[in-house]
Amino acid sequence: MSRRTFTAALTAAVAVYAFAVPAQAQDAIPAGNQVVINEVESNGDSVGDWVELANTNPNETLDISGWSIVDNDPDHERIVFPEGTTIESGGHYSLYTDIDNGFGLGGNDSVSLFNQAGELVDETTWDGHAATTWGRVPDMTGEFAVTGEPTRDQKNAGAGDSEDIATEPWPFDPQEIQNLDLGEEFQVEDMSGVDFDDNGRAWIVNNGESRLFVLDYKDGEYTLAGSWDLKYADGSGLPDTEGITATGDGLYVSTERNNADKSVSHPSVLRFDYPTETSETLSATSEWNLAEFLPENLGANAGLEAIEAVPGGFAGGVEGTGEVLFVDLSGDQPQLVQSYQSPFTGVMALDYSGSQLRVMCDEACEGASIVLEKGTEWAPVTGIQARPAAMENFANEGYASFSDECTTRFLWADDAGANGTSLRAASSTDADCGVDEQQPGVFGSSRESFLVWAGAILSVIGGAALFGWIASNWR
């Protein structure tokens, strides 16, 4: 899941292009109610998901002890506000919902507020993570809409006008984006990392279920070929499997935490052997904890979002800082080789192809990406590139490409599962692939070869005409 700690530049850039989340009928404030749900972060800032309440009474502080909130999952217990919880007049009060065994908020979810008597006071529903936050505009009194920026415990900001942060188009456009129908297991949220192996098989992880999937590809179609539960080396836990890279040495998976204890950061890379047909559960064979390379106060849901094998080691994408960590995992202890600060609030996907590493953000940055190459160090060789023109602003936390002869295949994993789709695909064909300018055809395919043949033909025609003229004029 992703965070929203925006810089001013990116805040302005993403506001206008946020999901077109329709206002819900229940957004209207119930008559006589003075405490309202005011703003919701469902896609996590550097700490987690949060809900903000507001006291619309301009004169009195209100006591909300014993009040509670809950999301749309009937199995979740309400979070009850402790004794002494108050909101000052005209003020705000917020809490992180996924801290201390609470609940996270999904891309298609709701929040309901109940008073001390258990009566429904306010609620809101959304479809798809907002690129910023989901809040009342104007602050406290308006209907819910995508905000201009996250403003926890402050006055809500409207979307306003903004410009795209991308400076270059998607280099593979035009592309037709295909929604993949792979059954119920892929009509869910939390599909995160995706990567192709050397044979063109696609490996995917679901961070909510700690589950691994593999897809086969034939005749233009992807089919599910297997799935497995992933565990830590001792066979326990629920690794928050966010990214994956398929190497000749096995599968490497980046994690942010143990889902069995979501409030504790555990940013590690796990290695797994490739599964066999009889495998049901895979336990990690090795683990490297990268906490020493990350800020001490980094949120539990803001760690290692992506992993990709690169020459000399691995690149890891950090959700909460927007960094790419280049690390050597050849020994028992990880070694930091280089840290690159991307222009994005968070690095959500990485893909190495040829000699280039694509660094990608999610819907918080309009799905923009930048390409790095290694000289003395890894450094940008492009500007900020837009997502495909035909791609909506989805919560893409996974991206991979695979080139085979003249065709390159692409996959995107949508963490929010917008419109019931968690995987989308596209392909591009190189129009010049397989054409050799020096390979002769009837007249040869090169300009030089054509001119040689044309000259020979004209010489023959010219010689015959000259012979005819001499024969008819000889006396």
How many residues are there in the chain?
Answer: 475
Which amino acid, residue 319?
Answer: E
With residue 457 as reference, give the H or E element that holds it: helix 447-473
Residue 330 domain-assigned?
A: yes
71: domain CATH number? 2.60.40.1260
Whether 247 has a pLDDT exceeding 60, the answer reads yes
Which amino acid, residue 468?
Answer: G
Residue 444 domain-assigned?
A: no
Question: Whose CA is closest to 52, among 116, 111, 137, 8?
Answer: 111
Is the pLDDT higher at 393 or at 69?
Answer: 69
Shared domain for 220 and 360, answered yes or no, is: yes
Shared domain for 70 and 194, answered yes or no, is: no
Whether 390 has a pLDDT exceeding 80, the answer reads yes
Whether 47 has a pLDDT exceeding 60, the answer reads yes
Residue 470 domain-assigned?
A: no
C-alpha R_g of the chain: 28
Q: How many structural domains are present in the chain?
A: 2
Whether 368 has a pLDDT exceeding 70, the answer reads yes
Shared domain for 423 and 374, answered yes or no, is: yes
Residue 182 domain-assigned?
A: yes
DSSP alpha helices (H): ranges in 261-385?
Answer: none
What's residue 371's pLDDT? Answer: 98
Look up residue 178 and give its two tokens: 């295909």
Shared domain for 98 and 202, answered yes or no, is: no
Whether 5 has a pLDDT exceeding 80, the answer reads no
Which of the listed residues 395, 413, 429 is the one where a domain comes to its end? 429
Shared domain for 268 and 411, answered yes or no, is: yes
Residue 241 domain-assigned?
A: yes
Shared domain for 245 and 117, answered yes or no, is: no
Q: What is the mean pLDDT of residues 169-189?
A: 94
356: domain CATH number? 2.120.10.30
- The distance from CA 307 to its chain's CA centroid, rounded to whole angstroms, is 12
Q: Which residue has the tokens 């998901």?
A: 49
Question: Whose CA is closest to 20, among 317, 355, 363?
Answer: 363
* Region for 345 from its dihedrals, namely left if φ exceeds 0, alpha if ψ lies in -120 to 50, beta otherwise: alpha
Shared domain for 350 and 422, answered yes or no, is: yes
pTM: 0.70
Shared domain for 357 and 238, answered yes or no, is: yes
Q: Which residue has the tokens 């005409």?
A: 465
**Which residue segment(s) compose the domain that 311 sits in?**
178-429
User: Which residues, at least 6 apart from 66, have a Cβ–Cβ distance to it below 8 Å?
Assistant: 80, 81, 83, 116
Which of the listed residues 395, 411, 429 is the one where a domain comes to its end? 429
Residue 170 domain-assigned?
A: no
Question: Whose CA is closest to 315, among 291, 296, 336?
Answer: 336
Which of the listed residues 412, 429, 446 is the one where a domain comes to its end? 429
Shared domain for 201 and 84, answered yes or no, is: no
Shared domain for 259 and 370, answered yes or no, is: yes
User: Which residues, at least 6 apart from 283, have a Cβ–Cβ distance to it below 8 Å?
Assistant: 231, 232, 233, 234, 235, 272
Question: Whose CA is closest to 202, among 214, 190, 218, 211?
Answer: 214
Shared domain for 137 and 214, answered yes or no, is: no
Residue 436 domain-assigned?
A: no
What's residue 100's pLDDT? Answer: 63
With contact defined as beta carbons under 8 Å apart, do 238 and 229 qualify? no
Q: What is the mean pLDDT of residues 313-320?
A: 96
What's residue 262's pLDDT? Answer: 81
Half-sphere exposure of 377 (CA within 13 A, CB side): 11
With contact defined as beta carbons under 8 Å apart, do 299 and 48 qualify? yes
Whether 23 has a pLDDT exceeding 50, the answer reads no
Q: Which residues of 431-448 are buried (b: 16+ CB within 10 A; e: fewer)?
A: eeeeeeeeeeeeebeeee
Residue 473 domain-assigned?
A: no
Shared domain for 242 and 390, answered yes or no, is: yes
Whether 379 has a pLDDT exceeding 60, the answer reads yes
